[in-house]
Amino acid sequence: MTQRRIGVGMIGYAFMGRAHSHAWRNVARVFDVPLEPDMACICGRNAEAVAAAASKLGWSSHETDWRRVIERDDVDLVDVSTPGDTHAEIAIAALGAGKHVLCEKPLANTLEEAEAMAEAASTSDRVAMVGFNYRRVPAVELARRLIADGRLGVVRHVRAVYLQDWIVDPDFPLVWRLRRELAGSGALGDIGAHIVDLSQHLTGDAIASVSGLTETFVRERPLPGGGGRGAVTVDDAALFLARFAGGAVATFEASRLATGHKNGLRIEVNGSLGSLAFDLERLNELELYESEGFARVLVTEPDHPWLEAWWPPGHVLGWEHTFTNQARDLLCAIGDGVACAPTFADGLQVQRVLDAVLRSSERGAWVDVQTST
Amino acid sequence: MTQRRIGVGMIGYAFMGRAHSHAWRNVARVFDVPLEPDMACICGRNAEAVAAAASKLGWSSHETDWRRVIERDDVDLVDVSTPGDTHAEIAIAALGAGKHVLCEKPLANTLEEAEAMAEAASTSDRVAMVGFNYRRVPAVELARRLIADGRLGVVRHVRAVYLQDWIVDPDFPLVWRLRRELAGSGALGDIGAHIVDLSQHLTGDAIASVSGLTETFVRERPLPGGGGRGAVTVDDAALFLARFAGGAVATFEASRLATGHKNGLRIEVNGSLGSLAFDLERLNELELYESEGFARVLVTEPDHPWLEAWWPPGHVLGWEHTFTNQARDLLCAIGDGVACAPTFADGLQVQRVLDAVLRSSERGAWVDVQTST
Amino acid sequence: MTQRRIGVGMIGYAFMGRAHSHAWRNVARVFDVPLEPDMACICGRNAEAVAAAASKLGWSSHETDWRRVIERDDVDLVDVSTPGDTHAEIAIAALGAGKHVLCEKPLANTLEEAEAMAEAASTSDRVAMVGFNYRRVPAVELARRLIADGRLGVVRHVRAVYLQDWIVDPDFPLVWRLRRELAGSGALGDIGAHIVDLSQHLTGDAIASVSGLTETFVRERPLPGGGGRGAVTVDDAALFLARFAGGAVATFEASRLATGHKNGLRIEVNGSLGSLAFDLERLNELELYESEGFARVLVTEPDHPWLEAWWPPGHVLGWEHTFTNQARDLLCAIGDGVACAPTFADGLQVQRVLDAVLRSSERGAWVDVQTST
Amino acid sequence: MTQRRIGVGMIGYAFMGRAHSHAWRNVARVFDVPLEPDMACICGRNAEAVAAAASKLGWSSHETDWRRVIERDDVDLVDVSTPGDTHAEIAIAALGAGKHVLCEKPLANTLEEAEAMAEAASTSDRVAMVGFNYRRVPAVELARRLIADGRLGVVRHVRAVYLQDWIVDPDFPLVWRLRRELAGSGALGDIGAHIVDLSQHLTGDAIASVSGLTETFVRERPLPGGGGRGAVTVDDAALFLARFAGGAVATFEASRLATGHKNGLRIEVNGSLGSLAFDLERLNELELYESEGFARVLVTEPDHPWLEAWWPPGHVLGWEHTFTNQARDLLCAIGDGVACAPTFADGLQVQRVLDAVLRSSERGAWVDVQTST
């Protein structure tokens, strides 16, 4: 079969860049997709490092200026895998240049930027997706379908945590993720964004109001280059209560100092007829209660989401597969015109919730989540 | 050995009455206690029913007026197992009559009553204990000791839920527990009180401020005697954030409509050095993280709390044992002068937290927990 | 209500004696039973110790010669809680004296004794029960009913282990349980007997042939009184394969040196339509597979076996409740004429399986389980 | 960096072919390997199908005769992913042609073939590896190291099961895997081989003697092309006891009719000082007992085997990663001269155990595993 091809240019080559490269490399080898990606170029500011990354990760060429990437004719899709403070400029320019865009989460570091991005996406005819990759965990999508099909009845409770412990050591250095000017926020935007998105995605409902707190337990840390300690200017942990528009109530917690938890995203939903729970550290499983007890459903059957393209029942997937599944859906959106989700508008809505949490934390009171106008 | 005896009079003979009877019947058969309880009399307003209960549960006599119980010379200890609206009057009178008192939780339905009770206890030389029986789960006490010994370092996070689903059916009737005038509050006071007490007991710290919400999902229910539906006037669920005096932050949730959860009290604590978790549905286990992973500690060894008196390792205890362990500690407090806990002052402090949650829920803002003056 | 009473005389006052006492003390306080037990007398050879036990455990009198117990008119039921080498003599004499008998497992130390006991029981009109108490775990009985109702289809696989580690320390002394002349066998008879009984009870089928091995890892141990080491003459572990009469195949393993396992009785059954698993360390749970995943059924609902008499849903039972449930069923068998199980014939059948395992281990080949003639 | 390259030719393109292709495609993108694989050609008998597979899976060319593959100069390594009846001929010829060989497990369908293969490997200077991929699960390798380091003390017990249920439906057709002439054996060779290899690999010990049984529960199945039913000529399940040379005792079970189990490889090891357990359906976890309880170790830390090349802590791997890890180790063996394992001799030893199980099943007695001469 001859297959249409799509040129991909990726900005960023760190952790997310590696994960996205893996997806672009494998998606057409696993799935039947309408477009086959060409890994055209990868971009980073350090020429030597990005050249090595291109070679290592399988990209045909490399650039050191993202503006060059969006000018290239062999790039149809721009994959923005940089830190959040650069998302808006790159993504808006890419859309303006007629490129499709995949942008890592959170959509932006500020609400204003996120609004501009959503506006740019809404006036473009290109596909713009934000990378909430955990929507592409098969167990999560199965959960969403069960809820959408009414199997749980009316949703009453959501409880979601995202617990990590990688900065529990007070001598862990003051990396860029711990500085507000670069990272926007701490645990809230980095991992809290995931559980906000998932809670809304799973329930098909929107968070309407929140009451939150943020806390920084370790207020000074060693400077990375040596020479004393500097102030941590983002939250170590963020906790909030929420009311959904549809009436459900929820607790949320994101922390990077929850000792013993490595990637502990757990979300539970209780409805009037049933309940379910998902834990990212056991991402092939869904806990489902309908009558006699919580069943551990191994989500590896051919009729489970995305699974037919992978392996036989019981042959489990890993974390990186979420990116490959995401790439598949993005290619279907571009090539077949399937509706794309999550859109930049979805990403903006998550930002509005996070913004409301921060405002609530400052005021010590409930605040409403801003709605679109 | 000849053994001193202590006469017990119990007010109430429903669920809690059955559990307490079991404890009084067995405590001296299991433990070496300084005082052997005589199950002197049980008291309830329905003469026929209380007579049957006395016979069934092993009490020597019965009364229909609690005032008679506290007058009896053969009663040294009054066990108040009635609904919360009667606790204050009975307990204060019993202390006034020179009796020791065990009072079920919550201490009272109102803060004023609880304060009066704590005042009465503080001016009495009798022992007054409030029945937060889950302190006497061996795994809970082991957890408390580990935290007190510094094994977890500085406590940063507490997350506690108490989830049940016994009123998830909207046709479950409007029983007294769902009416504010009798029950005080709903899930908050009934089961939320337990997790408030446990979180403070485990950490050795006090909740200083809270932000809460309460929700009643099913607002009308069938009247028990038939003839239409009536308004539910208590909360179905209560959720709150909390800050502890020592700096830890916490989420709390109590619900009676969390489908699939029967007696789902779960509490997790993360410290700077380690973490632990406890789940009441698996009450013989403690999850403990110190270095390589969460260990499932089976708390049935002879050197675990209360266990030496029970069975060999691996022979698990049940829910009712918490009451027997509690009775043992109360008898040691009375007979040997060991410090008694939880005191009425402890019970009052829990009431203050619950009161702050209600006030916060009404105001939509954080409120401080009232402190003793 | 006036209630008929039944006098109980118990021989033995160690671990099993304590557990049985607990059952006799509480059974009529929990259940509605046709006969109320009088704890008439307890018997042991050491006068001082048995007097203390009588006082501690709540027995009205004590004896030092079991023959006196079975002569007493106030004893209607003899509870044999002694080591296995004395079971046959006492139980047969008690039946001969017209007493009902409850005999601890294993029924006897030798097949000959067990046969004599079953013969005595079959020619008596008294009730004779062997104490395989784990049949009275609610989750086990629920499992049995599900299988009997066909919910699992045709049973193909059984895998059962009973793992403990209390003698893993090579300096644990050479107690009587490690000497063949007193204990008959080691792990095989002590704990292997339980899983043989349960596997047959759950499936309603009989083990027809076996291939086994026994092993003694620690061959010498310190003598209890000091003065060197002596030979361990029983098995530390026994493993065997089995074929059931109905076609199922099975693995069995009993060990006292399975490090980390305290009371690790686990049994799994796979049928053509479904599967289940039970783990004694989590005795309130049954794992049940019917379609989408293994469900963790919390066996604490009022319609679960024996549960209506205990506590509300989610209020878990402990190990000792199996004896109280057993006592209830025995009293119903005696008082109401309900069929009693397990009978001495059932106990004999278990002995035959154990005997076949030993013979197989010696021969290095499969052997058939002897059947009744 | 310029990198030496190695041409790979793969025979077979079904399930294993897909998994191996994934490994060859990604290994050098993830790991730093001394040789970069060129996916030179893929081979299958159906020209159209193999052409499609080449295109889909990323191979540069395709062949329809495996003899052509081993003749090609651009092929340095032959990957044998065909059914077991063809392994010997291909692998021996490939070695004879001076190619390195990776051969899927089981090494062969008969002991004679396996012996010939091991002989060929031993007289060749090429690397020959048999694909027991589960050795490359990080949790398994961590377990092996812990045991080798003495953390568990002397190993006493192994219990291993491999449970699946994909043919539990009696109308599942009579595919080639259910016919002895093609598959050699059923569950025994297909999945039993894995647990035999793992048990020996983990313990560093060899199975010395076995007593087994095999069973075929569903003896006739529909012919795949229609037209009635045919006889199943392999085992549905195989169970056996084993004694290791070093003194440990073990139970093994492999079944394809264990309802509810999809890929249920579970292996437990008890030593004199500690215990561990591994479950393939949760392949990122290792259960480890050293003192207080079984810890769930999440095996995703950078210092865990192979993990440094993958993702940050808590970002779990899937089943296919075992093949990529295996490819990495094979490339290191070829390129750097690192010792290769498992060798064909290891594969032969597994065959000898399987052969002993079959002989034991036929004789109804223990048989010794043949040792090398």
Q: Do A156 and B271 touch (CB under 8 A)?
A: no
Same domain for C122 and C152: no
Closest-CA residue of C relative to D153 is C259
Same domain for A182 and A282: yes
Q: Which phi and psi (to 5°) does residue B170 adopt?
A: -65, -10
Same domain for B88 and B59: yes
Tokens at residue C20, please? Answer: 């049985």
Tokens at residue D307, please? Answer: 């993990």
Q: Which helix (H) or strand (E) holds A296?
A: strand A293-298
Distance CA A249, CA D16 (A): 47
Q: Report the neighbours of D using a cutoff of 3 or more CB pairs below 8 angstroms.
A: A, B, C
CB < 8 Å to A366, chain B: 211, 364-365
Q: Please state whether the predicted TM-score (pTM) of the whole model is above 0.90.
A: yes
Of A158, A185, A372, the closest CA to residue A275 belongs to A158
Distances (CA, A) of A335 to A101, A322, B46: 14, 20, 77
Q: How do D293-298 and B4-11 pair as beta strands?
A: unpaired
CB < 8 Å to C251, chain D: 159, 239, 241, 251, 253
Same domain for B152 and B130: no
- The type of residue at B177 is R
Q: Do D292 and B297 touch (CB under 8 A)?
A: yes
Same domain for D321 and D186: yes
Measured CB to CB, residues of chain B less than 8 Å from chain D are 286, 288, 292-298
Nearest to D215 among C170, C249, C364 (CB): C249
Closest-CA residue of A relative to B152 is A259
Out of D87, D119, D134, a domain closes at D134
pLDDT at A189 over 90: yes
Of the pLDDT bands very low, low, confident and very high (cuts 50, 70, 90), residue B220 is very high
Task: Specify if C373 maps to a domain.
Answer: no
Q: How far is CA B320 from the centre of its chain?
A: 13
pLDDT of B196 reads 98
> What is the DSSP secondary structure assignment for residue D338, as one 8-state letter?
P
Measured CB to CB, residues of chain A less than 8 Å from chain C are 286, 288, 292-298
Taking a C-beta distance cutoff of 8 angstroms, is the pair A203, A147 a contact?
yes
Q: CA angle, D351 as apex, D349 and D354 as ends, to 5°? A: 115
Of the pLDDT bands very low, low, confident and very high (cuts 50, 70, 90), residue B373 is low
Taking a C-beta distance cutoff of 8 angstroms, is the pair B105, B183 a contact?
no
CA distance D37 to chain A (A): 13
pLDDT of A225 reads 84
CB < 8 Å to B166, chain C: 312-313
Distance CA C359, CA A97 (A): 84
For helices D15-30 and D47-57, give the axis angle rounded to 10 degrees: 30
Distances (CA, A) of D253 to A316, C21, D256, D355: 22, 41, 10, 15
Measured CB to CB, residues of chain C less than 8 Å from chain B are 1, 15, 19, 21-22, 25-26, 29-30, 55-58, 164, 166, 261-264, 280-284, 298, 300, 311-321
CATH of the domain at C235: 3.30.360.10
CA distance B258 to chain A (A): 6
Q: What is the sign of the dihedral through the CA atoms of B13, B17, B22 and B26?
A: negative
Rg (CA), chain D: 20
Count Cβ atoms within 10 A of the Cβ of residue C338 and give its class: 0-12 exposed, 13-18 middle, 19 or more buried. Answer: middle
Q: Do A319 and D319 touch (CB under 8 A)?
A: no
Look over chain B and give the mean of its residue pLDDT values, rounded to a whole number. 96
pLDDT, tens only, A319-372: 999 999 999 999 999 999 999 899 999 999 999 999 999 999 999 999 999 886
Q: Do C317 and B319 touch (CB under 8 A)?
A: yes
Distance CA B221, CA B224 (A): 9
Same domain for C265 and C178: yes
The whole-number mean pLDDT for each consecutive block of 10 residues of chain D, a chain of 373 residues, reads 84 95 98 97 97 97 98 98 94 98 94 97 97 98 98 98 97 94 91 97 98 98 92 97 98 98 97 98 97 95 97 96 98 94 97 97 96 67
CA-CA-CA-CA torsion for C176, C180, C184, C189, nearest 10 degrees? 80
Q: Which helix (H) or strand (E) holds D77?
A: strand D77-80
Distance CA C147, CA C151 (A): 6
Nearest to B289 among A259, A273, A274 (CB): A259
CA distance A61 to chain D (A): 15
Query: Domain total for chain B?
Result: 2
- The type of residue at A40 is A
Distances (CA, A) of B339 to A220, A310, B140, B198: 42, 63, 19, 18
Contacts of A373 (CB under 8 A, 6+ apart): none
- The type of residue at D172 is F
In this prediction, residues A224-230 reach a mean pLDDT of 90
Q: Where are the alpha helices (DSSP H) in C149-289?
A: 180-183, 187, 193-203
CA distance D273 to chain C (A): 7
Out of B68, B101, B134, a domain closes at B134
Longest dimension (CA), chain D: 61
Q: Report the neighbours of B using a cutoff of 3 or more CB pairs below 8 angstroms.
A: A, C, D
Same domain for D55 and D162: no
Of B245, B193, B207, B241, the closest CA to residue B364 belongs to B241
Taking a C-beta distance cutoff of 8 angstroms, is the pair A59, A66 a contact?
no
Closest-CA residue of C relative to A304 is C292
In this prediction, residues A164-184 reach a mean pLDDT of 93
pLDDT of C53 reads 97
A80-98 in b/e form (b: 16+ CB < 10 A) is: bbbbbbbbbbbbbbbbebe
CA distance B11 to chain C (A): 18
Q: Which long-range contacts link A116-120 to residues 24+ away (Cβ below 8 Å)? A: A116/A88, A116/A92, A117/A87, A117/A88, A117/A91, A117/A92, A117/A344, A117/A347, A117/A348, A118/A343, A118/A344, A118/A345, A118/A347, A118/A348, A120/A91, A120/A92, A120/A95, A120/A96, A120/A344
Strand partners, C221: C230
Q: Do B294 and D296 touch (CB under 8 A)?
A: yes
Domain residues for the domain of C249 are 135-368
Q: Do A262 and D313 touch (CB under 8 A)?
A: yes
D43: left (phi over 0), alpha (psi -120 to 50) or beta: beta
For helices A47-57 and A15-30, give the axis angle rounded to 10 degrees: 30
Task: Specify if A373 maps to a domain.
Answer: no
Q: What is the sign of the dihedral through the CA atoms of A332, A334, A336 and A340?
A: positive
Same domain for C92 and C60: yes
Nearest to D316 among A56, A281, A312 (CB): A281
Distance CA B89, CA B87 (A): 6
Q: Do B313 and C284 touch (CB under 8 A)?
A: no
Q: Do A272 and B211 touch (CB under 8 A)?
A: no
Distance CA B208, CA B369 (A): 5
Taking a C-beta distance cutoff of 8 angstroms, is the pair B202, B298 a contact?
no
Of C314, C326, C328, C305, the closest CA to residue C148 belongs to C305
Task: Specify if D283 maps to a domain.
Answer: yes
Task: Specify if D339 maps to a domain.
Answer: yes
pLDDT, tens only, A115-155: 999 999 999 999 999 999 999 999 999 999 999 999 999 99
pLDDT of C186 reads 95
Taking a C-beta distance cutoff of 8 angstroms, is the pair D156, D270 a contact?
yes
Closest-CA residue of B relative to C53 is B29
Q: Which phi and psi (to 5°) does residue A86 adopt?
A: -105, -5
Does ipTM exceed 0.90? yes
Q: CA angle, D182 as apex, D181 and D186 as ends, to 5°? A: 90
Of the pLDDT bands very low, low, confident and very high (cuts 50, 70, 90), residue B1 is very low
Q: Which phi and psi (to 5°) does residue A255 adopt?
A: -150, 145
CB < 8 Å to A249, chain B: 213, 215, 237, 239
Nearest to A314 among D262, D315, D317 (CB): D262
Task: Specify if B335 maps to a domain.
Answer: no
Taking a C-beta distance cutoff of 8 angstroms, is the pair B343, B128 a contact?
yes
- The type of residue at A199 is S
In this prediction, residues A8-20 reach a mean pLDDT of 95
Task: Specify if C47 maps to a domain.
Answer: yes
Q: How do C4-11 and C35-43 pair as beta strands?
A: parallel
Task: Specify if D97 maps to a domain.
Answer: yes
Of the pLDDT bands very low, low, confident and very high (cuts 50, 70, 90), residue B3 is low
Nearest to A295 among C286, C292, C298 (CB): C292
Same domain for A128 and A249: no
Nearest to A364 among B213, B240, B366 (CB): B366
Task: Specify if A126 maps to a domain.
Answer: yes
Distance CA C74, CA C37 (A): 11
Of A271, C258, C321, the closest CA to residue C266 belongs to C258
CB < 8 Å to B316, chain C: 263, 280-281, 283, 318-319
The whole-number mean pLDDT for each consecutive block of 10 residues of chain C, a chain of 373 residues, reads 84 95 98 97 97 97 98 98 94 98 94 97 97 98 98 98 97 94 91 97 98 98 92 97 98 98 98 98 97 95 96 96 98 94 97 97 96 67
Of D141, D287, D117, D286, the closest CA to residue D201 belongs to D141
CB < 8 Å to C364, chain D: 211, 365-366
Closest-CA residue of A relative to D57 is A29
pLDDT, tens only, B330-346: 999 999 999 989 999 99
Same domain for B177 and B73: no
Distance CA A190, CA B35 (A): 59
CB < 8 Å to C237, chain D: 156-157, 249
CB < 8 Å to D243, chain C: 213
Same domain for D167 and D100: no
Closest-CA residue of D relative to C287 is D260
Q: Do C241 and D240 touch (CB under 8 A)?
A: yes
Of A31, A57, A7, the closest CA to residue A325 belongs to A31
pLDDT of A183 reads 87
pLDDT, tens only, D290-313: 988 999 999 999 999 999 999 999
B96-106 in b/e form (b: 16+ CB < 10 A) is: ebebbbbbbbb
Q: CA angle, B123 as apex, B122 and B128 as ends, to 5°? A: 50
Distances (CA, A) of B145 to B273, B312, B316, D296: 15, 22, 20, 23
Distance CA B125, CA B122 (A): 8
> What is the DSSP secondary structure assignment for residue B365, as one 8-state letter?
B
Contacts of D82 (CB under 8 A, 6+ apart): D11, D12, D66, D90, D104
pLDDT of C1 reads 44
Of the pLDDT bands very low, low, confident and very high (cuts 50, 70, 90), residue A227 is confident
Closest-CA residue of D relative to C158 is D258
CATH of the domain at D25: 3.40.50.720
Same domain for A66 and A31: yes
Of the pLDDT bands very low, low, confident and very high (cuts 50, 70, 90), residue A3 is low
Out of D82, D108, D134, a domain closes at D134
